Amino acid sequence: MSLTEPEPSDAALVERVRQNDLNALGGLFDRYYAQVYRTAAAITQDSAVAEDVAQDCFLKLHRYADRIDTSLPLAPWLYRVTVNLSYTWVSRQKKRRVSLEAVVDCLMSPAWHSPDHVAEHNELQDQVRQAIGELNFNQRVVVVLHYLSGLSLEEIAEILDCPVGTVKSRLYYARENLRHKLHTVSWAQEVAHGFA
């Protein structure tokens, strides 16, 4: 017969956080840090920023524990805060412009002609990641929450506080944009191969 205590629920931990119990906050941190960090990293595409976002997210959890409705699951609240904090960072960040020379260098680099399948596979992933990074913020968030966090359209709609139809539309256009971008990259790659 097992005498181990059952894990306290999120609601119970939030109640304790309201009493300024840092151990309870530690419990929630342990449970959700990876999820928050990964979401922020996928949206901002910057691990250092993702760490800051995750920290701010748990600071907000501590500060606003009184306002959290414990009858609802905690995860959507954390996702919403993560998305909002990431948005703040993305909107402040200056858009980095990649020079045409850098793109040409990248396309003509020896790695593009390498027969190594693993390298090609990684490069393809990098291209997809880069293409996701080039999506507008709303589309990127929907893609990350759907494909990385595995959330349904209804759950995403609840997190983003918008109709399901809007989420569907954003996902549709995000996929079309990605398809177009990957097609363009592939075409450029073929041209580069042709010149080599």
Partner 1 sequence: MDLHDHELDSLISLALQPAPVMAQQKQLAWEKLHAKLAEPALLPATAETPTRTIRLWRAVQIGWDMLRSFALEEARYESARQERYAYRYYSFALDPASFSLEVMGPLRVSKLGQVC
Min dist. Cβ of residue 195 to partner 1 (A): 19
- Identified binder of partner 1 from the candidate list 34, 98, 103, 111, rule CB under 8 A: 34
| 53 touches partner 1 by CB under 8 A | no
User: 148: closest CA among 37, 10, 46, 56?
Assistant: 37
CA 7 → CA 14, 27, 31, distances in Å? Answer: 13, 10, 11
Are 45 and 129 in contact by the 8 Å Cβ rule? The answer is yes
- Identified binder of partner 1 from the candidate list 13, 50, 68, 78, rule CB under 8 A: 50
User: 140: closest CA among 85, 87, 78, 74?
Assistant: 87
Q: Pattern of binders to partner 1 over 121-140, x per CB under 8 A?
A: ---xxx-xx--x--------
> What is the chain's alpha carbon radius of gyration, rounded to the nearest angstrom?
21
| 193 touches partner 1 by CB under 8 A | no
- Identified binder of partner 1 from the candidate list 165, 172, 183, 196, rule CB under 8 A: 183
Min dist. Cβ of residue 146 to partner 1 (A): 9
